[in-house]
Amino acid sequence: MKSPDYYILGLLCLLFVSSHITDGLATRRQQKSAAGGVTGMNVLLIIVDDLRISLGCYGDNIVKSPNIDQLASESVLFTNAYAQQAVCAPSRVSFLTGRRPGTTRLFDFNSYWREHAGNYSTLPQYFKEHGYVTMSVGKVFHPGISSNRSDDYPYSWSVRPYHPSSEKYENTKTCRGKDGQLHANLICPVNVSQVPEGTLPDIQSTEEAIRLLKGAKQQNSSFFLAVGYHKPHIPFRFPKEFLKLYPIENISLASDPDIPKNLPPVAYNPWTDIRKREDVQALNISFPYGPIPPHFQRLIRQSYYASVSYLDSQVGQLLSAVENLELANDTIIVFASDHGWSLGEHGEWAKYSNFDVATRVPLMFYVPGITTTRRTQQNIFTYIDPFNIEIMIKPPGKVMKDPVELVSLYSTIAELAQLPLLPDCPVPSFHVDLCTEGRSLLPYFTISGEENAETVAYSSYPRPSDTPQWNSDLPDLRDIRIMGYSIRTSDYRLTLWVGYNPVTFEANITDIHAQELYLVKTDPNQDNNLFNKSLHYDIAQKLFGHILK
């Protein structure tokens, strides 16, 4: 009988071969899929902030998400989709430009790709240039420097992007504490009628998105509408009635709440943004490994779930408007999160790592005539009240288990709408305005489309040091000294932490700081690092040399 190490070595060898096969598969873009595109289709892109796969359609039997589940029942749903970096701005810029963070040169929030990397055409810009009215509501691009303080307007959008006026209160003292005073807390259930302006950002975003849909319908114009919801991003500020869905006595802790014994220190996320909240500061938790008290852990998990159900209600209202405006039969709907979020797994909270819980995201595509064939007179989307105890979870439509990447969104959506095919990016591609580094997912939409066990997904995360520091979660570019590169296959995740030069934007593949290898079929939570330097070092260098060249 072969040893486990021999088995792991074989898997790594297979991955080395498959990474080259993946390159070959990219040439399939040069021909139209048998399913083709859908001429004249509108696009509704729903982007969610910090949502892990805690949804009913992904098998979570705790979270109540009936409206998103309803969308999934009419969609192609990807169960292993991964962000290219588990933090908001780099991830969003990556999938909206079709380029990886190494090409956008954005690893924090402090640069604008058109000035610091290349004048890359964006997904909405591509639709705008092909006659669509492009509109942005809420958090689509990350606001601030990373989108030129304009959400990349006017390049990407036909009209100035909309941001909710109540957004400015998200991190202020609007959370009622046990002392009766207002605080800037992590956990923040509110009475909506009593908060500033009597509303919340996602409520305003839904209202504005519906207004824009009505206008587009009246004008009979082809539209690309991106709606970015804030929840479940912290603080957990949501209508307090959603707590009723999750009694605290029913909330369990993470199944693996301890830091793995063989986890390299550089891989650990010390969740410094959580520690800044007043209610967490009051716990006096030691840095960096001090655990959060169990009861407060349950409160965090309860609030996250409640935030997801609140989000689901907003998505449900938006989808119901699509139905009521008779747009469901000619609108492609894409639902995705920018990255995941840890709820105590590995002793971590927030994102900021290469673990699946931080990089894995929900991803689904609803395409009239392809993912659903219902007739016009039949309703596809109806609002479902999450407080209805009679909720029946609908099974997802077509489920695909291959590892796929968010960077594929650009080419996939454009191809589904039957816009001209995007060329593959050369290496390097800083001088090329229009190309893609993401492989189109269109083959998965064909009737004969089959899963391909040879696909892989790449993610990365920067660190300032080999050990957890105050800025380990989100180091500024100038402070990055180490980059963790991950390859995710159907069977395992392999990560190398290597030296990085933030001035030249170069990784030194020979400067190995740490390694991780997890067999996800037998260790789905990725708690047991099996990397053995004597067996896997050379192969790991070949693998990452391939993606870094």
The closest alpha carbon to 178, from 16, 296, 306, belongs to: 296
Report d(CA 127, CA 155) in Å as an integer. Answer: 11
Identify the active-site residue in 13, 20, 57, 88: 88
User: What is d(CA 437, CA 425) in angstroms, rounded to the nearest whole number?
Assistant: 6
Taking phi over 0 as left and psi of -120 to 50 as alpha, with beta for the rest, 276 belongs to alpha
Enter the tokens of residue 231.
Answer: 């929840």
Nearest to 321 by CA among 46, 19, 90: 46
Strands 182-183 and 175-176, how do they pair? antiparallel
Cα atoms found within 13 Å of the Cα of residue 198, Cβ hemisphere only = 1
- The span from the first CA to the last CA of the chain, in angstroms, equals 38
Please, which residues bridge with residue 507 across strands?
500
Query: Distance between CA 112 and CA 101 in Å, rounded?
Result: 12
Which one of the listed residues 142, 163, 339, 513 is annotated catalytic?
142
CA distance 484 to 514: 9
Q: Catalytic residue at 88? A: yes
406 CB-side CA count, 13 A:
32
Q: What are phi and psi of 544, to 5 degrees?
A: -80, -25
In the chain, how long is the greatest CA-to-CA distance?
69
What is the pairing mode between strands 187-190 and 342-343? unpaired
Residue linked to tokens 């991003």: 233
Establish whether 13 is a catalytic residue: no
392 dihedral zone (left: phi>0; alpha: psi -120 to 50; beta): beta
Residues assigned a catalytic role: 88, 142
